[in-house]
């Protein structure tokens, strides 16, 4: 039986990430980076697909956990009938090979613990060979080598695992260090776990101290910013949508996707949040990642890439994995990389504008990229696309996509304000006005007094909540008020907003999908822009309440089952949390946020 996602916490080194459960089981870790093979895949399979359990052997009377303030160092405190013990789980910021440290500290009395180490390479398919070494246990198979070192003798088991039993008294410290390295290379030097704990906590605290964002919810915002940083692939500047694959949108269903890649949309949203908090270094690193990723034929812009800009993300399934709660198939790669999603252009140019306003001026290479991508947008905006929800049931003329194409032209015009591009700007103004007319004529239903999901369709869509946030219409426009009212009345279930109605027959959706958490936060934004601050705050705090005990959110929340579902933790959910907290905390209220989009050309 799969554990609820609420049971998991994230640790990482800004190149990969692990999920560790409340009961001390490491059930997911890809090595050496986010999008390479998992050596621990119990999360989407079972115990036979790779895990590492480290926990007391006696029944647990209490489990309490938290992150050390301002860090990604996880502290879990276990209370048993014989004493209290703490485990610190963390990944040092990498200098060479990846390490994961699990430091056991005795607090009170004496506690017996067990370590059961059973990695499985190739997403749980390959049982490694084990051998004892001078430094501990080595597990190897194919290109991968894992070393588990520490002060405790490990017994190699016949089933392909290493196990130990040991006791810790008050004041004693027992470190376990897991290191990955290529099996054909020499064994790397072993780190000092105590020094690594101090250095890792200091690194994260130095990073969080750079934040310039002030909100009414500082703890929630800081944790979300740390989560976004943890999902950044530091060597390249790419940002993954989530560190997991195939955690389902629908429990037991087949809507299971691999999110361990860099979505253009999600990354631009992340960059907006990071820039808003003063993290311009990350914005510059991502901009350089973008230039490398789209090099070559700019007409072949993809919607997502590998963490270093890889283009071939062929989708395939892993039949030996049963899936999270039987949600099959488990997928690798993502066919959405070949889709057309027009909204990406608007989000991309909006992030460039925000970066420039924050002091990151566009250089000649950046402007060449803008001009090249604008040629794409001029050619593509009249076409149907797969939209923000990446549907696989055929392209449509999605209203949100057209609005975001409008945003693309609008932001490009603003970016060109200090450049000699009169001819291009004249074309862009004409295209922008034409898009507005089409959206108002075909994307709005007068009978419902609401914008609609796709042209000439009666159905609603939560993405339309963004129309005011991006500056397409003022929040007080009757059509915008009508849209917000209609979505609140028809897409809210159990207090949370769903993406679109089942009856829209979009992408063969069946009943049972959770509520997409960013949609509820977009709803809060729309309410705030209307001046309905109390209602917006209520919606926002409802989302805060479904975070797990260490402040993490997944992609969706299922109000009926009262649990998080979808890939976890999800960057876009934390981005939306940050942006809503910022809007509700702006000194001059939401109008200040609105003016940032509506100043200059509109």
CA dist 125 and 182 (Å) reads: 18
Q: How far apart are CA 582 and CA 149, in angstroms?
A: 44
Cβ neighbours of residue 257 closer than 8 Å, sequence gap 6 or more: 245, 246, 331, 334, 336, 567
> How far apart are the C-alpha atoms of 274 and 287, rounded to whole Å?
13
Question: Higher model confidence: residue 591 or residue 281?
Answer: 281
Residue 220 shares a structural domain with residue 190: no
Q: What percent of the chain has pLDDT over 70?
A: 96
Between helix 280-293 and helix 364-380 the angle, nearest 10°, is: 60
Closest-CA residue to 557 (of 508, 515, 498): 515
Mean pLDDT of 531-559: 97
pLDDT of residue 24: 98
Same domain flag for 102 and 193: yes
- For the segment 542-567, the average pLDDT, to the nearest whole number, is 96
C-alpha distances in angstroms, 590 versus 225, 354, 469, 538? 21, 17, 10, 16
- Residues 432 and 570 placed together within one structural domain of the fold: yes
Q: Which residue has the higher pLDDT, 599 or 153?
A: 153
- Rounded CA-CA distance 376/176 in Å is 52
- Asked whether residue 16 carries a pLDDT value surpassing 60, the answer given is yes
| Of 408, 280, 294, nearest in space to 342 by CA | 408
Q: Which residues neighbour 297 within 8 Å (Cβ) at sequence distance 6 or greater?
A: none
Tell me: pLDDT of 159 over 70: yes
Q: Are residues 533 and 578 in the same domain?
A: yes
Mean pLDDT of 382-405: 94
Same domain for 385 and 505, yes or no, is yes
CA distance 45 to 36: 17
Residues 164 and 253 reside in one and the same domain = no
- 322 and 264: one domain? yes
> pLDDT, tens digit, for every residue of 284-323?
898 888 888 887 766 678 889 999 999 999 999 999 999 9
What mean pLDDT do residues 176-188 have?
Answer: 96
Residue 596: pLDDT over 80: no
State how far the Cα of 431 lies from the Cα of 369, in Å rounded to an integer.
19
Write down the pLDDT at residue 35. Answer: 96
Q: For residue 290, what pLDDT is reported?
A: 85
For the segment 330-357, the average pLDDT, to the nearest whole number, is 91
CB of 594 within 8 A of CB of 468? Answer: yes
Length of the chain: 602
Contacts of residue 377, defined as CB under 8 A and 6 or more positions apart, other chains included, come to 342, 345, 405, 408, 409, 412
Contacts of 95 (CB under 8 A, 6+ apart): none
Residue 507 has pLDDT above 70, yes or no: no
Confidence band (pLDDT; 50, 70, 90) for 135? confident
Lowest mean pLDDT among 132-141, 313-322, 569-578: 132-141
pLDDT at residue 602 is higher than 60: no
Q: What is the pLDDT of residues 457-481, one digit of tens each?
A: 999 999 999 999 999 999 999 999 9
In the prediction, which pLDDT does 594 show?
A: 47
* CA 264 – CA 270 distance, rounded (Å): 10
Looking at the fold, whether 21 and 61 belong to one and the same domain comes out as yes
pLDDT score, position 272: 85
pLDDT tens figures, 107-124:
999 999 999 999 999 999
Residue 260 confidence (pLDDT) above 60: yes
- Is pLDDT of 171 > 90? yes
Same domain, 155 and 289: no
For 536, the domain range is 210-598
Which helix H or strand E contains 60, and what residues bound it?
A: none
Does residue 215 surpass a pLDDT of 90?
yes
* Residue 201, φ and ψ in degrees, nearest 5: -60, -40
Q: Give me the chain's average pLDDT, please.
A: 93
Instruction: For residue 108, list its beta bridge partners.
Output: 84
Which of 162-166, 367-371, 419-423, 586-590 shows the lowest mean pLDDT across its residues?
A: 586-590
CATH of the domain at 195: 2.70.98.40
Q: What is the mean pLDDT of residues 147-174?
A: 95
What percentage of residues in the chain have a pLDDT greater than 90?
Answer: 80
Residues 267 and 119 in one domain: no
Q: What is the mean pLDDT of residues 171-183?
A: 97
Question: 485 and 582 in one domain?
Answer: yes
Last residue of a domain, one of 172, 191, 206: 206
Which of 158, 185, 206 is where one domain is finished? 206
Please spell the DSSP secondary structure of 4-41, one letter per residue. PGGGEEEEE-SS-EEEEETTSEEEEEESSSTTS-EEE-
Predicted pLDDT of residue 443? 97
Task: Name the DSSP letter for residue 126.
Answer: B
Please state the φ and ψ torsions of residue 264, each to the nearest 5 degrees.
-60, -45
Cβ–Cβ < 8 Å for 499, 255: no
pLDDT for 599 equals 47
pLDDT average, residue stretch 401-407: 97
Round to whole Å and give the CA distance between 240 and 89: 22
Residues 552 and 541: beta-carbon distance below 8 Å: no
pLDDT band at 2 (very low <50, low <70, confident <90, very high): confident
Residue 307 sits in a domain of what CATH number? 1.50.10.10
pLDDT in tens, 55-100: 999 999 999 999 999 999 999 999 999 999 999 999 999 999 999 9
The domain boundary residue, chosen from 137, 171, 206: 206
pTM for this model (two decimals): 0.96
What is the band of 283 on the pLDDT scale with cuts at 50, 70, 90? confident
Q: What is the reported pLDDT for 366?
A: 85
Tens of pLDDT along 37-49?
999 999 999 999 9
User: Are 310 and 458 in the same domain?
Assistant: yes
Is pLDDT above 90 for 493? yes
pLDDT of residue 563: 96
pLDDT band at 600 (very low <50, low <70, confident <90, very high): very low
The neighbour count for residue 82, using CB atoms within 10 Å, is 15
Number of domains making up the chain: 2
Please determine, for residue 381, whether its predicted confidence score (pLDDT) is greater than 60: yes
265: pLDDT strictly greater than 80: yes
CA dihedral of residues 297, 299, 304, 309 (deg, nearest 10): 10
């Amino acid at each position: 039986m799969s554990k609820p996602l609420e049971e998991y916490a994230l640790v990482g080194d800004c190149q990969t990430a692990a999920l560790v459960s409340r009961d001390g089981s490491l059930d997911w870790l890809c090595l050496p980076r986010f999008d390479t093979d998992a050596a621990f895949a119990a999360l989407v399979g079972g115990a036979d697909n790779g895990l590492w359990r480290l926990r007391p052997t006696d029944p647990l009377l209490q489990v309490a956990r938290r992150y050390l303030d301002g860090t990604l160092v996880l502290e879990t405190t276990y209370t048993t009938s014989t004493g209290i013990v703490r485990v610190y789980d963390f990944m040092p910021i990498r200098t060479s090979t990846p390490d994961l440290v699990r430091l056991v500290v005795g607090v009170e009395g004496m506690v017996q613990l067990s370590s059961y180490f059973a990695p499985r390479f190739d997403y749980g398919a390959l049982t490694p060979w084990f051998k004892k070494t001078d430094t501990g246990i080595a597990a190897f198979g194919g290109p991968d080598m894992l070393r588990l070192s520490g002060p405790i003798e490990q017994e190699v088991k016949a089933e392909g695992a290493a196990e130990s039993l040991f006791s810790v008294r008050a004041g004693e410290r027992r470190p376990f260090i897991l290191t990955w390295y290529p099996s054909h290379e020499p064994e790397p030097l072993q780190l000092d776990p105590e020094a690594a704990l101090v250095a890792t906590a200091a690194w994260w605290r130095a990073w969080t101290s750079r934040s310039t964002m002030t909100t009414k919810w500082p703890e929630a915002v800081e944790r979300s910013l740390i989560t976004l940083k943890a999902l950044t692939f530091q060597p390249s500047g790419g940002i993954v949508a989530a560190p997991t694959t195939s955690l389902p949108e629908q429990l037991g269903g087949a809507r299971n996707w691999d999110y361990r890649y860099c979505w253009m949309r999600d990354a631009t949203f992340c960059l907006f949040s990071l820039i808003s908090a003063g993290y311009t270094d990350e914005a510059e690193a991502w901009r350089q990642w973008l230039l490398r990723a789209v090099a070559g034929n700019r007409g072949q812009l993809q919607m997502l890439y590998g963490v270093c800009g890889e283009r071939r993300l062929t989708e395939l399934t892993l039949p030996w994995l049963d899936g999270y709660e039987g949600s099959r198939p488990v997928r690798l790669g993502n066919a959405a990389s070949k889709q057309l999603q027009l909204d990406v252009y608007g989000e991309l140019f909006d992030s460039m504008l925000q970066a420039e306003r924050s002091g990151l001026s566009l250089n000649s290479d950046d402007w060449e990229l803008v001009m090249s991508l604008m040629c794409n947008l001029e050619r593509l905006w009249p076409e149907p696309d797969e939209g923000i929800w990446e549907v696989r049931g055929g392209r449509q003329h999605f209203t949100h996509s057209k609005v975001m194409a409008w945003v693309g032209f609008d932001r490009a015009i603003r970016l060109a304000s200090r450049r000699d591009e009169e001819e291009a700007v004249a074309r862009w103004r004409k295209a922008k006005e034409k898009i507005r007319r089409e959206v108002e004529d075909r994307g709005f239903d007068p009978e419902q007094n609401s914008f609609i999901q796709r042209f000439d369709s009666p159905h609603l869509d939560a993405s339309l909540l963004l129309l005011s946030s991006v500056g397409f219409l003022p929040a007080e426009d009757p059509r915008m008020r009508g849209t917000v009212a209609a979505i609140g009345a028809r897409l809210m279930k159990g207090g949370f907003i769903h993406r679109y109605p089942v009856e829209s027959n979009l992408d063969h959706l069946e009943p049972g999908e959770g509520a997409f958490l960013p949609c509820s936060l977009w709803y809060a934004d729309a309410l705030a822009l209307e001046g309905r601050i109390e209602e917006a705050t209520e919606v926002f705090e409802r989302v805060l309440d479904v975070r797990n005990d260490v402040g993490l959110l997944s992609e969706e929340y299922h109000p009926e089952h009262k649990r998080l579902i979808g890939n976890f933790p999800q960057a876009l959910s934390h981005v939306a949390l940050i942006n809503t907290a910022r809007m509700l905390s702006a000194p001059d209220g939401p109008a200040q946020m609105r003016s940032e989009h509506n100043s200059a050309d509109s």
